[in-house]
Amino acid sequence: AQSVTQLDSHVSVSEGTPVLLRCNYSSSYSPSLFWYVQHPNKGLQLLLKYTSAATLVKGINGFEAEFKKSETSFHLTKPSAHMSDAAEYFCVVGGTGFQKLVFGTGTRLLVSP
């Protein structure tokens, strides 16, 4: 079975400082991994996607994530936080072809001025 563990339920940063949201995954085969963001009262938006190509994946709004097989991790980073980044972030694992997406429990990012 596939699963993801988001290591922090809340992360607080100041505007302009780096963001690190941590995710570990478990999969019996080479996984596809995603980060989605959910702003209040808005739908889930795809930030980035890993599908066994480059291990460093660049996404929208300056976010990127690095796939590390040896550590079974897929942490999300951004060099400089913006107030508009405050939202709920979900690490997600899928597989090849059709696969139901399996979501983590989410990390709420708080950005203070």
Question: CA–CA separation, 83 vs 112, rounded Å?
Answer: 7
- 104 lies in the binding site for another protein (CB under 8 A): yes
Q: Which residue's CB is nearer to another protein, number 12 or number 14?
A: 12
- 81 lies in the binding site for another protein (CB under 8 A): no
- Element of type H or E holding 37: strand 32-38
Kindly tell me which residue out of 1, 10, 40, 98 binds another protein, with binding defined by CB under 8 A.
Answer: 98
List of residues 6+ apart from 33 with CB closer than 8 A? 4, 23, 25, 49, 50, 65, 67, 74, 91, 92, 93, 94
- 90 lies in the binding site for another protein (CB under 8 A): yes
Residue list 47-76, contact with another protein (CB under 8 A):
49, 51
**Least distance to another protein, CB of residue 29, Å:** 12
Contact residues toward another protein (CB under 8 A) are: 32, 34, 36, 42-46, 49, 51, 90, 92, 94-106
